[in-house]
Structure 1
């Protein structure tokens, strides 16, 4: 794994990836830019087309590290683009859309045609789009849409840009040798600089939004001030979470560690980092984290918000949780089932059990060194509950149709 730095949709991104990682996989899995579609993965169908330094490029056969220092624009980055907006309107008007799978790559390629070709014929447009395959439309509506946009822009006095604004020969993304050498020196920097880079990875995108959010709460039979104080001791909190371990002590609200999850045949070990903030007045905290499982090449990003309140009974504490996460890669298929919710629910239950045991130990005068061993997640029991739940849902649907 090594660091790569790319400007994606006008935002500087730094991330770790294997040298063999393709740009399309980096965009989809590391940056959650899933508008870049994967079809043939051989550079034939064009569904994965993005702009690299302004040039349409097959991201499924372009290595992410080959784009070191380059500017990459995906279909998401063309939301406010004038030509792309006109193409979307024209494609809708000319019925150039059906399943939509080819559309992101088709729009990127069509935009390049509108930008650099002054008055192309229908044949010219078809040749220029021959690298973008569509299984639905027959291309007639797509070609008409491109023609109409070009004619409308030329009628408004907007001329083509010779070469589409390209100012150098060579592969798309080339011309950044200086940046590559600089990054090589950065990789040889002290461990403190590398740790700072990893820390920045978690919080670099303030606009991140989770794909799934879970709301939960639990009650602890100890006063709020005791629970709040315990939550501030990150190492002890991690010890209560099954499968979690830290790599060293937390520093300035930043921590590195891993969490292992094994449920039946599913096994993952997410290595990651987290930034922790706490509001003493509101007794509320936020944990922003990101991690990756090397075995499955799956990645996750999450945000946990918690609030500590008075419980219904004296001496009790109510902890309200909001867990938002995004899961990408092979393991993302399980996020569409109830499995992730079941795992999260069981993890919380075991966490509360371990939390109670440690707080009881402290209340009895025990020390951290003599704290009770934390309970582990019962994966077999969890799988059984998932299967039973699915069977119940099946019969509920079956009986509901009768």
Structure 2
């Protein structure tokens, strides 16, 4: 058993739980908060959705111990919430519920969408709510209800909150959870709040020093220009970004901070990741590190990554070897295409395109001359070429061995 402490619907709660206990079971059986419904118990139907630290979470697949110290809000805790009250009225008006079993989770997810949506776009609503299943209504009334609340709030000049107030990528509640140290020392504190940009007042990326990427790998390439020239080029953020297929910057970058976006298309899934990154450079060792995070609301995907690089002289100093270490964590719909072996092969092709564009830029060519893929990065075609290459290699081994 493990002792945990939570804040549930504004009240401090403590209890002992088995490490395997799901948050939904802890709430329903331990706190009698039965408004949190259990449906599939696989994180698919969305009936058990609650708020953990302000973020919608499938409580049937979240361990209670992983949320130790977190702030939990269930449907019971939203009785007096203004947005939820408006959604309840809209659901009633638009006949957006029948049996009501999915409704608590539906309202929690809808509330998050109302908070962060700039406008009442029906397609965006359908995509964002696709993780909440209903067997009764056919969704038409649900979509109308959510759309009407978003439109009404924006008409009253209630602005959307970008990203719903999220400050970091990762499982909700994970910033609080930690194991009890064996020596009795204090448990690790939650990550510090995000920094504020002095120039824009916008939230700066919160970098958790304890974050470990799910996948890490290395890439090396040669640039046919001296190391000092390549190093100076790497310091010009806007020019470097123009060399990366599908990438563009938002606003004016600084030597330490950049905000941007990259368009990715994988088959029928199109995503536009928007995020920010912190930049570190060490001229004495010709090395640097870029730590970034971003999310794509339309595809409900998020990513966090770190890129470390080091410039080494090559070919008697006339060329430069760029040694890159890449680490990333990818969640959401696009995670299904994030198998490490495929990502590494795709990264190799992207690296080759980046190196080609970098040399072109160093040679004096403009952005228009680069193969940067202004329409976005078609990762699907890259993955197809990778798979095709692997199949060709397989056939070569099979039939080559018989000859």
CA contact (8 A) 1:287 1:303 kept: yes
Residue number among 181, 202, 205 corresponding to 1:200 in the alignment: 205
CA contact (8 A) 2:68 2:176 kept: no
- For residues 215 and 41 of structure 1, the distance between their equivalents in structure 2, rounded to whole angstroms, comes to 38
Deviation for aligned residue 1:42 = 2.5
Distance 1:316 1:243, change over 3 A: same
Residue number among 42, 51, 56 corresponding to 2:47 in the alignment: 42
Note the 1:157-172 alignment, pairs <5 A.
none
Q: Are 1:333 and 2:336 counterparts? A: yes
Note the 1:290-301 alignment, pairs <5 A.
290-301=293-304
Q: Are 1:253 and 2:256 counterparts? A: yes
In proportion to residue count, which structure has more helix?
1
Deviation for aligned residue 1:361 = 1.7
- For residues 371 and 177 of structure 2, the distance between their equivalents in structure 1, rounded to whole angstroms, comes to 47
Which residue of structure 1 lines up, in the alignment, with residue 161 of structure 2? none
Note the 1:235-250 alignment, pairs <5 A.
235-250=238-253
Note the 1:40-79 alignment, pairs <5 A.
41-43=46-48, 46-48=60-62, 50=64, 61=105, 77=177, 79=179
Distance 1:340 1:266, change over 3 A: farther
Q: Which runs of 5+ in 1 are unaligned?
A: 1-5, 8-22, 25-35, 83-188, 363-369
- For residues 221 and 69 of structure 2, the distance between their equivalents in structure 1, rounded to whole angstroms, comes to 51
Deviation for aligned residue 1:341 = 2.1
CA contact (8 A) 2:205 2:293 kept: no
Which residue of structure 1 lines up, in the alignment, with residue 370 of structure 2? 374
Distance 1:263 1:280, change over 3 A: same
Residue number among 319, 322, 325 corresponding to 1:319 in the alignment: 322
Distance 1:57 1:294, change over 3 A: closer
TM-score, normalised with respect to structure 1:
0.52
Deviation for aligned residue 1:266 = 4.1
Write the deviation string for residues 38-58 of structure 1: whole angstroms up to 9, x where unpaired.
366423995435357689987
- For residues 329 and 54 of structure 1, the distance between their equivalents in structure 2, rounded to whole angstroms, comes to 22
- For residues 208 and 352 of structure 1, the distance between their equivalents in structure 2, rounded to whole angstroms, comes to 29
Q: Which runs of 5+ in 2 are unaligned?
A: 1-5, 8-22, 25-40, 50-58, 76-103, 116-163, 166-171, 183-195
- For residues 68 and 176 of structure 2, the distance between their equivalents in structure 1, rounded to whole angstroms, comes to 14
Structure whose alpha-carbon radius of gyration is higher? 1
Deviation for aligned residue 1:244 = 0.8
CA contact (8 A) 1:307 1:319 kept: yes
CA contact (8 A) 1:357 1:372 kept: no
Q: Are 1:80 and 2:76 counterparts? A: no
Distance 1:257 1:54, change over 3 A: closer
Deviation for aligned residue 1:314 = 3.5
Q: Secondary structure at the match of 1:200?
A: coil
